[in-house]
Amino acid sequence: MSKVLILGSIALDSLKTPFGNRKDVLGGSVSYASVSSSLFSKTNIVGVIGEDFPQEYIELLISKGINIDGLERSNGKTFKWDGYYEYDMSQAHTVDTQLNVFADFCPKIPASYLDSKFVFLANIHPSLQLNILEQLENPEFVMLDTMNLWINTTKEELQKVISKVDLMLLNDAEARQLCDTPNLVEAANRILAQGPSYVIIKKGEHGALLFTKSGEVFSAPAYPLKSIKDPTGAGDTFAGGFIGYLASCDKINLEQMKKAIIVGSALASYTAEDFSLDRLKTVTLEDLCRRYCEFEKLSCFSSLNLKKAAALAL
């Protein structure tokens, strides 16, 4: 089984939505992505926590078979985010961010991680992402995420990382900002020209778009949830499910990429159904298969309906 390495943040989140509130719950890109990835592949994490990080959250990661050799505990407090959502759940409003031990984090790769073939560089300073890449032996597939802060403040370093990865993952606003264009197709083409073979642009409740260097485009829907309690971490859940599934495949091709996007989208939809990782941590492969099948129905038209449409057009 191929190993997946995930680098990013581990946080304690406090948040409020129209459906409730929570204080100091498990958050951060590493948490969501690793639990999602662990459904398919042996997953290694690199991150930092403080003295205040609850043991129960460490035990949750271990219970999922996640290797925490790269989890560093430092003196001080864990990275904290405090925010809220209104009824437009696509927009998080930040009240307070405390980097704490994350501010001086210098990731170190344990020897047992060096042969990791699949790597997800989650949202973290580009210099740290480059640092990780330089330590690894010969990764087969590297996926990169970023955010508007790094696009604004460290664009040159970010572009160096982009040139060294296989897939760039970002949302529609970030794609427009990075490439200085309102057109997502043009933005994807500009990113592909910098080095990656693939670009995925997330569009929140409107799904995701996959672009390839050879010119293919795939559009995936989002799952229409009846109840959304907390969308925090949905993007990182998507990323973890995507790369975890790819790592479990015999080969990487366009069809497997499409399936990985649906897998990631299905897992992300589970995350939004409850606060923190409360729903995601209970998801089984059987649950995922059922929702994957529902996604297939959303994405396909039957031949009968197409024939009726053609008859009506005549």
- Structure confidence by residue, pLDDT tens digits, 77-93: 999 999 999 988 878 89
pLDDT above 90 coverage of the chain, percent:
82
Q: Which pLDDT score is estimated for 207?
A: 87
Q: Which residue has the higher pLDDT, 308 or 96?
A: 96
Residue that the structure tokens 């405090």 belong to: 82
Give the strands of the sheet with 20-27, arranged side by side: 20-27, 11-17, 79-85, 92-98
Contacts of 260 (CB under 8 A, 6+ apart): 241, 242, 243, 245, 246
Above 50 in pLDDT, residue 311? no
Segment 61-68 shows an average pLDDT of 97
Above 90 in pLDDT, residue 222? no
Mean pLDDT for the chain overall:
91
Domain parsing of the chain, residue ranges:
3-313
Q: What is the pLDDT of residues 114-149, one digit of tens each?
A: 989 999 999 999 999 999 999 998 899 999 999 988
Segment 265-281 shows an average pLDDT of 96
Structure pTM?
0.92
The residue among 125, 234, 212, 208 whose CA lies nearest residue 167 is 212
Q: SS3 of 119, please?
A: strand
Q: What is the pLDDT of residues 159-180, one digit of tens each?
A: 999 999 999 999 999 999 999 9
The helix (H) or strand (E) run that includes residue 261 is: helix 254-271
CATH of 3-313 given 3.40.1190.20, 3.60.130.10, 3.40.50.150, 3.20.20.70: 3.40.1190.20
Q: Which pLDDT score is estimated for 1?
A: 61
